[in-house]
Amino acid sequence: MSAEEFRHYGRAVVDWIADYYENIESLPVLSKVEPGQIRSNLPSHAPQKGEPFEDILKDIAELILPGVTHWQSPNFFAFFPANTSGPAILGDLLSSGLGVQGMLWTTSPACTELETHVLDWLVEMLDLPHKFLSSESGGGVIQDAASSASLCALLSGRERATNFASNERGCNTRFVAYTSNQAHSSIEKAVKIAGIGRENLRLVDVDERFGMQADHLAQLIEKDRQEGRIPCFVAATVGTTSSNGVDPLPEIGEICRKNNIWLHVDAAMAGTAALCPEYRWIHNGLEMADSYCFNPHKWMFTNFDCDCFYVADRGALIQTLSILPEYLRNKASESGAVIDYRDWHIPLGRRFRSLKLWFVIRHYGVEGLQHHVRRHIELAQQFAGWVEQDDHFELAVKPPLNLVCFRHRGGDELNQQLMDQLNRSGDLYLTQTSMHDRLTLRLCVGQTATEFRHVERAWKKIQEIAAELEAVH
Amino acid sequence: MSAEEFRHYGRAVVDWIADYYENIESLPVLSKVEPGQIRSNLPSHAPQKGEPFEDILKDIAELILPGVTHWQSPNFFAFFPANTSGPAILGDLLSSGLGVQGMLWTTSPACTELETHVLDWLVEMLDLPHKFLSSESGGGVIQDAASSASLCALLSGRERATNFASNERGCNTRFVAYTSNQAHSSIEKAVKIAGIGRENLRLVDVDERFGMQADHLAQLIEKDRQEGRIPCFVAATVGTTSSNGVDPLPEIGEICRKNNIWLHVDAAMAGTAALCPEYRWIHNGLEMADSYCFNPHKWMFTNFDCDCFYVADRGALIQTLSILPEYLRNKASESGAVIDYRDWHIPLGRRFRSLKLWFVIRHYGVEGLQHHVRRHIELAQQFAGWVEQDDHFELAVKPPLNLVCFRHRGGDELNQQLMDQLNRSGDLYLTQTSMHDRLTLRLCVGQTATEFRHVERAWKKIQEIAAELEAVH
């Protein structure tokens, strides 16, 4: 593709995306296709000859779009958001265009240094502990997802607990990790991957607000110690996926410090709230954590993938993950004056992901980001208020931030039907969880374009369909 | 950013990228900045107010570009390539624009189905064993990097060897993995991560062409078995990073089959050569592999990240990595009729990466891709011929494909100086390895725009600087 063709088709794709956002509210949020339907319209074999770009672009609208669930719709309230924005898309475009692979400082110094710099900015923006700064003992790195960040944290904890012996000799079945029974499934996945084993992951009880019970954690650790096991890792959550529950970091941190256990704090979605001083209470106690992550690709207008992972002791992380084959040797690395991010995560290769984050922060400014985050929380709280005022519904828990967990009082079957009908309507998309052993609906406000009218319409639709279901029940 | 602003600035970024490619040959390939130089020009704090997009774009040229090592330069001959192309950049742009998160089929059916479909296309395009097709027992998935693919393969092998017991009970120190002493460092990294331990990774000897010695592998396995260990994983390489050595898959496959060991084949760069029937010998014996990967983000014009990972038994992979929390439950997954790619890799979230791959295959067509791959190999072979004809130089090994390993006959110090001066010149970028305990230069032809004149100029520059160095030595 020549430069002229790239200009021409590039504009066509930019316009396509602009049109998409202008029309996104007219599309059913949750795709309505059946399994296999998208594939059935695609040719069985790759083309032998190249095809005109116009044909490819036409197929996006005709063959692909019906199978898209519109995460960027303002009516998307499911899971956690994965929001994006114009500056993020364009920053990512520039990253694709430059096509650098930043595994080492020397393979693109700007890729490494901008990342370190922007992650230091974020320490200040979220008022995180200073030990996470690259100028102190720690530092930040962009990971693809919080799952990978948790895995890196777990591995660091495993290694620190035995002076990096498992890396050399292999894991044994005496290591134990801890997290609450509300923690993200990625912790269980990490424990399996790291060779610790699911049986050695203790699920700590939670309180009525779905935060970890620190005294139960202490009991479990004590018992494991007495039985000769090696407690090596605690994953605390700030904003659980199920209900946005917040674990008590001060108490957990004390226990970890006393027992010399690596404390990782996963604030995948909720962390962004700390942009606003009034929500920084979610990070109380974070100064005792060994590592921390939050995802700008969830709630900070930066498209996937962009998880910001911080460690207090970068030496421990690097020692856990470093490798140095001859073909990667270079003077800059050997000087010790640079960061080589290949040793900060699982894969070797990496793209220039800090560009999109830099674009977002500069485009919005701190105040712009605060404005949107505050508005999302405000909208969620309004919605929660409506739920409370309707006798047919109840809140499963008081929502701390932008996720509302609620249910119709008519029981699991009615709630399931309610959710299915809402999602089939195409007007909105929400998902469920289980709380107190009851099916509970989750409405999370976090997409970039979500405004009052979308949340209001969602609530009216929920009431309307609920009324229909009540009539037949 | 409004739709109109997005159109406006989107065009500006597209033009910026087009300009960049038009001027890329005038830029020094390897960045000349000193450690810390890029950061020193960035403001210490994030802006409170949003900034105009024009300012951000201006800073790319002024603050970022000097710190970019130009991977897309036709004079980039270092490491392995990480090439890209117009259709890849635009496919990736569309992925950023749609902003879908394809962790489950239901969270965007097209994201899953296009990926499965294009990876099935590639089985045919590379003439891979049919068991890797999704319509058979296997299937393909896009991973970020070959490192992650190797880790997933290793975990599957670890689990299969003990009926998925390590996932439950944790790893022990009896597992053993095998790879050649020329294999990529990611295998060592994976072995540490998975809790197997570096001491339990056997590095098999290689022959004079740097391919694994199968009889040595058999001996090591036999010894480990006799000592009560559990051989669970062999990583064979098609095209090692150091020298493009190709392991003998037929012999290795037999040994693995006899011993019921998971065989993973890493063809990260070289696999792409199999687009051309005359290079499919590199995959001889692949029918005995349990898993396989190659990276379109290396040598198939698709920007990072895009590693295609195939398994022959998707059940084993899924059982190794699956998790199912309540908040991810949905009818489509429970029907068993769909693929949920979250269970095929480490992270939970995933972007719509198949779009760029689909764009590339359709834009070039199979014949277009074959043309470029053939041309790269031809250019490398021409370069190797020039090396052979010059008495001052020698080939370290006959190059099988597009990577030439060579050295000046003047010894390690001269070769180091030669490489450093070449890279400092900005005219080209190449890297080194160690072969036969001697510093060896690597010249890999694989960037999208590399033509005869670039390779010819590189060789002339190499001869010219070598002559200067000979004069002073």
Distance from CA of A236 to the nearest CA of B (A): 17
What's the distance, Cα to Cα, between the start and end of chain A in Å?
61
Could you state, in chain order, the average pLDDT of each consecutive group of 10 residues for chain A (473 residues)? 96 98 97 96 98 97 97 98 98 98 96 98 98 96 98 98 93 95 95 97 96 98 98 98 96 98 98 98 98 98 98 95 83 86 96 98 98 98 98 96 98 97 97 95 98 98 97 84
Q: Write the residue in A67, A93, A116 that is nearest to B108 by C-beta.
A: A67
- Chain B window 258-287: which residues touch A at a Cβ cutoff of 8 Å? none
CATH number for A1-30+69-84+365-473: choose from 3.90.1150.10, 2.40.50.100, 3.40.190.10, 3.40.50.300: 3.90.1150.10
Instruction: With a cut of 80, say whether residue B27 has pLDDT above it.
Output: yes
Q: Write the residue in A18, A145, A347 that is nearest to B6 by C-beta.
A: A18
Q: Given an 8 Å threshold on Cβ–Cβ distance, is A92 in contact with B89?
A: no
Distance from CA of B197 to the nearest CA of A (A): 4
Q: Tens digits of per-residue pLDDT, B101-110?
A: 999 999 999 9
Distance from CA of B256 to the nearest CA of A (A): 22
* pLDDT band, very low/low/confident/very high, at B37 (cuts 50, 70, 90): very high
Q: Given an 8 Å threshold on Cβ–Cβ distance, is A361 in contact with B48?
A: no
Q: What is the mean pLDDT of chain B?
A: 96
Q: Given an 8 Å threshold on Cβ–Cβ distance, is B195 in contact with A196?
A: yes
Q: What would the two tokens of residue B261 be?
A: 């060991």
- Please identify which residue in the block is written with the tokens 């207090």: A312
- Whether B166 has its CB under 8 Å from any CB of chain A: the answer is yes
Instruction: With a cut of 80, say whether residue B58 has pLDDT above it.
Output: yes
Nearest residue to A210 via CA among A447, A440, A458, A463: A440
Identify the pLDDT of residue B240: 96
- Whether A61 has its CB under 8 Å from any CB of chain B: the answer is no
Query: What is the pTM (predicted TM-score) of this model?
Result: 0.97
Q: Tens digits of per-residue pLDDT, B76-96?
A: 999 999 999 999 999 999 999
Mean local confidence (pLDDT), B173-195: 96
CATH number for B3-68: choose from 1.20.1340.10, 1.10.260.40, 3.40.47.10, 3.90.230.10: 1.20.1340.10
Q: What's the CA gap between B265 and B293, in Å, rounded? A: 7
Q: Which residue of B has its CA nearest to A81?
A: B101
**In this structure, which amino acid lies at residue A98?**
L
Q: Do the beta carbons of residue A415 and residue A432 sit within 8 Å?
A: yes
Instruction: With a cut of 90, say whether residue B222 has pLDDT above it.
Output: yes
Instruction: Please give the full DSSP string across A80-124, using - where no structure is assigned.
Output: S-----HHHHHHHHHHHHH----SSGGG-HHHHHHHHHHHHHHHH
Q: Does domain B364-472 have CATH number 2.30.30.230?
A: no
Q: What's the CA gap between B95 and B389, in Å, rounded? A: 48
* pLDDT band, very low/low/confident/very high, at B337 (cuts 50, 70, 90): confident
- Sequence-distant (6+) residues with CB within 8 A of A418 are A408, A441, A462, A465, A466, A469
Q: Tens digits of per-residue pLDDT, B404-420?
A: 999 999 999 999 999 99
Q: What's the CA gap between B89 and A90, in Å, rounded? A: 12
Q: Which residues of B touch A243 (CB under 8 A)?
A: none
Distance from CA of A210 to the nearest CA of B (A): 15
Strands B291-294 and B307-311: antiparallel
ipTM confidence = 0.97
DSSP 8-state symbol, A41: T
Q: Tens digits of per-residue pLDDT, A89-116?
A: 999 999 999 999 999 999 999 999 999 9
Q: Given an 8 Å threshold on Cβ–Cβ distance, is A90 in contact with B9?
A: yes
- Whether A116 has its CB under 8 Å from any CB of chain B: the answer is yes
Q: What's the CA gap between A218 and A431, in Å, rounded? A: 34
Q: Write the residue in A39, A167, A172 that is nearest to B116 by C-beta.
A: A39
Q: Given an 8 Å threshold on Cβ–Cβ distance, is A50 in contact with B100?
A: no
Identify the pLDDT of residue A333: 81
* pLDDT band, very low/low/confident/very high, at B326 (cuts 50, 70, 90): confident
Question: Degrees (nearest 5) of the Cα angle A454, A458, A459?
Answer: 120
- Whether B228 has its CB under 8 Å from any CB of chain A: the answer is no
Q: Does domain A100-351 have CATH number 3.40.640.10?
A: yes
Q: Write the residue in B15, B166, B241 that is nearest to A7 by C-beta.
A: B15
- Whether A83 has its CB under 8 Å from any CB of chain B: the answer is yes
Q: What's the CA gap between B43 and B386, in Å, rounded? A: 49
Q: Do the beta carbons of residue A122 and residue B114 sit within 8 Å?
A: no
- Sequence-distant (6+) residues with CB within 8 A of B301 are B83, B84, B85, B87, B88, B360, B364, B369, B372, B448
- Sequence-distant (6+) residues with CB within 8 A of B334 are none
Q: Which residues of A touch B151 (CB under 8 A)?
A: 193, 346
Q: What's the CA gap between A105 and A112, in Å, rounded? A: 6
Q: Do the beta carbons of residue A465 and residue A429 sit within 8 Å?
A: no
- Chain B window 369-428: which residues touch A at a Cβ cutoff of 8 Å? none
Q: Given an 8 Å threshold on Cβ–Cβ distance, is B185 in contact with A323?
A: yes
Q: Write the residue in A17, A166, A351 that is nearest to B97 by C-beta.
A: A17
Q: Given an 8 Å threshold on Cβ–Cβ distance, is A11 in contact with B6?
A: no
Q: Which residue of A has its CA nearest to B371?
A: A49
Residue A79: how many CA atoms within 13 Å on its side-chain side?
27
Strands B175-180 and B139-143: unpaired
Q: Give the domain ranges of chain A.
A: 1-30+69-84+365-473, 100-351
- Whether B111 has its CB under 8 Å from any CB of chain A: the answer is yes
What residues does B444 pair with on adjacent strands? B403
**In this structure, which amino acid lies at residue A180?**
S
Instruction: With a cut of 90, say whether residue B119 has pLDDT above it.
Output: yes
Q: What's the CA gap between A438 and A290, in Å, rounded? A: 35
- Whether B114 has its CB under 8 Å from any CB of chain A: the answer is yes
Instruction: Please give the full DSSP string across B268-289, using - where no structure is assigned.
Output: TTGGGGGGSGGGGGGGTTGGG-
